Structure 1
Amino acid sequence: MSSSSSHQTHPRRSPLESLRKFSLVVFVIQLLKGRKSTSNEKVHTVEEIDNVVPPILQTQKKEAYLKYYNDFWKEPGVKTELEAYARADVDFEYKILKGFVPKQLVGKVTTGKGPPWKGSDTFFTDFEAHYPSERILHATDKSLIICNHACHDVRLYKEDVDPTGTDKSLAAGMSYMHLLVIPVARVYNAVALEDDVCIEEMIAHFKTFWRLPDSKETIINAINGTMVRRYDEIVTAYKKPQANADPSNTKEAQSAPLEQRIKQLDDVMSKCRQYASECADRLRKMDGEFNGYMGFHPHPTTSVGHLHMHVLMKNKKFLTHSTRVHDHKNAPASVVLDVINEKNTSDKNPDTQSSD
């Protein structure tokens, strides 16, 4: 009797929960066994532990992505919309696809280059026509590598620094190194792909770029540029007369004198530069093949309606001051490729496969 009561006071884990915990423990032990405990261990071998996705988590991510994929293709008229997007149809009324240039920007040039935005455009379509060449870190005839436009450091988006006095941390980048690979052709989203050709080219392109002798410095310079751009836009906003004359301005940071606000910003920027310098040094030491994260935000979680592959460094040291609010959207490239290839295999007619 007492033995039975004792068991009731300690809830048992479900078999699935126990399996997950056991799998993770075994996975880490196997990784650690394969490492050499030497004093001159290379940085990139340390990062493998953070960047490899345990099989149990890979399965969960695949199940989540497969739902996004199936839900997208269940939408009535989705193929018609994809065809309209591919031909840049400005008269088509899109009801499923999302992530186009805001309507208030249509007919305007906002990047200092290129033709005015059209209603069928996104911020990544026809990238070379709309942006300065320095925004492109590397290019092939199939895809472009660019740096995420937003700065990686959330401290430059916090309410005590942001001109609006609101916390805009979610607008920051997802890692110190947050790059994007985008196709030159008009391709909507990973869930819209019916073969793996585009993704395989994007992956191969980035791996080739990563191996170039000057790639790390190219990346670091682009990242530093995002910090300077964010700093400049904050200072410009501070100096606008309405920034300190808005009667709804009740926050102390917004009502402070301009000199005080800029001094506080400079103090924050100094810390951001120091952290970025440490990350840059760490990035320079990374040799060998790229072993970070490559993946996608599936429709409808994406904010830009043109295919773009996120390339991130996921080691914790690169994430210290980056936003994590978008992590739940991440679908690793390996998961996307698995779903595409399995879908293609299941769609084949068994009779035609065995006809030879």
Structure 2
Amino acid sequence: MDNAGASYGPFGSKWNTIKRQYDQFQSDATAVADAQAYLSKTPDHRYALTDPKGVKKTTPFTDFKGPVYAENDSAKIIGNRSSFFKDQYPETPAKAGMSMIHILAIPKARIFNGVSLDKDTVGIIDEMVALFEASWAEESFRLNILQHQLDAIKTAWNENQDPLEPQHRVSYQRAISAYKELKRMIHDLTVEDFTYGLHLWPDHSVGHLHMHIMATPAKCLQYSTREHDQKTKDAAEVRDFITSRKT
């Protein structure tokens, strides 16, 4: 039975699945050693590399140098380069974002994934949430995130769509219309409208912890993919599972 004593968001009530994935990773001594070496920046460590989703020496988020929208001593907020408008990816809708606002928080420390967190490191989840919530109070931050959504729509158009294909032109125009909807309502969204999610190993895409920050009112989800909902775990539920462990 899932953790009935707590209430989580739309990606919650997955306690047993979290436990299964966490325990499976932690039972692999080699994987745990790799995660510790990644965290400690052990220079001469030889990573196993037998698991395609396993720990690697470096990732796109390791010592991230791309655009950063906010940061503190422990974390950064960065963009999700995919458009939120799934019709821009007619062949691969899973590439789309999960919400009209879908951005990421990453730790500066080299933390592999939610399954490699322990009681000493799990506090990073609350630190990333706090960074976002403090940042969202600033109009300049909201405007930068809004611009990022427009940039992602244009990137999807340039990289994935054929300007000579009528259907692609229509989807781009509809994406711009959806962006204008977001522009009208973005300043009305509060931190209570956001959900924080994790993709636990082996469901993750990048082997460096990243927390998905998503606006989850229905109006913010209508144009986006739902293909990742099942694998998304509520970050608070993951935190609570880890802090509840006796060892």
Q: Which TM-score tier does this pair reach, normalised by the shorter chain? A: 0.7 to 0.9
Q: Report the equivalent of 1:66.
A: 19
Q: Deviations over 1:135-183 (max 9, x none)?
A: 211112211101111111111111xxxxxxxx11111111110010001
Q: 1:220 aligns with which of 123, 146, 158?
A: 146
Q: Deviations over 1:80-122 (max 9, x none)?
A: 211232326574333357267xxxxxxxxxxxxxxxxxx6211
Aligned partners of 1:85, 1:313: CA distance in 2, in Å?
Answer: 31
CA RMSD of aligned residues (A): 2.5
Q: Tell me by how many angstroms 1:186 deviates.
A: 0.8
Aligned partners of 1:342, 1:97: CA distance in 2, in Å?
Answer: 30
Q: Report the equivalent of 1:53.
A: 9
Q: 2:59 aligns with which of 112, 118, 122?
A: 122
Residue 182 of structure 1: SS of its match in structure 2?
Answer: strand
1:183 aligns with 2:136: no
Q: Tell me by how many angstroms 1:227 deviates.
A: 0.6
Instruction: Specify which structure has the higher proportion of helix.
Output: 1
Aligned partners of 1:91, 1:136: CA distance in 2, in Å?
Answer: 31
Aligned partners of 2:30, 2:54: CA distance in 1, in Å?
Answer: 18
Q: Report the equivalent of 2:82.
A: 150
Q: Deviations over 1:333-355 (max 9, x none)?
A: 11011111111xx23xxxxxxxx
Q: Report the equivalent of 1:198.
A: 124
Output the amino acid matched with 2:37: A
Q: Report the equivalent of 2:73.
A: 141
Residues 180 and 309 in structure 1, CA contact (< 8 A), matched pair in contact too? yes
For structure 1, which runs of at least 5 residues remain unmatched after alignment?
A: 1-15, 21-50, 101-118, 159-166, 239-258, 348-356
Residue 179 of structure 1: SS of its match in structure 2?
Answer: strand
Aligned partners of 1:88, 1:300: CA distance in 2, in Å?
Answer: 23
Q: 1:305 aligns with which of 182, 207, 214?
A: 207
**Which of 1 and 2 has greater Rg?**
1
1:123–1:88 Cα change, 3 Å: farther
Residue 327 of structure 1: SS of its match in structure 2?
Answer: coil
1:85–1:96 Cα change, 3 Å: farther
Q: Report the equivalent of 2:182.
A: 279
Aligned partners of 2:52, 2:169: CA distance in 1, in Å?
Answer: 41
- Would you identify which runs of 4 or more consecutive aligned residues in structure 1 move more than 4 Å? 88-91
Q: Tell me by how many angstroms 1:63 deviates.
A: 1.7
> What is the TM-score normalised by the length of structure 2?
0.87
> What is the TM-score normalised by the length of structure 1?
0.62
Greater mean alpha carbon deviation, residues 263-272 or residues 168-177: 263-272
1:75–1:97 Cα change, 3 Å: farther
Q: 1:341 aligns with which of 222, 243, 247?
A: 243
1:79 aligns with 2:32: yes
Aligned partners of 1:143, 1:177: CA distance in 2, in Å?
Answer: 19
Aligned partners of 2:185, 2:60: CA distance in 1, in Å?
Answer: 31
Residues 210 and 290 in structure 1, CA contact (< 8 A), matched pair in contact too? no
Query: Relative contact order, CA 8 A, sep 6+: which one is greater?
Result: 2
Q: Tell me by how many angstroms 1:52 deviates.
A: 6.2
Q: Report the equivalent of 1:114.
A: none
Q: 2:49 aligns with which of 69, 82, 94?
A: 94
1:88–1:272 Cα change, 3 Å: farther
Q: Report the equivalent of 2:159.
A: 233
1:201–1:68 Cα change, 3 Å: same
The alignment covers a number of residue pairs equal to: 239
Residue 106 of structure 2: SS of its match in structure 1?
Answer: strand
Aligned partners of 2:158, 2:164: CA distance in 1, in Å?
Answer: 16
% identical aligned pairs: 27
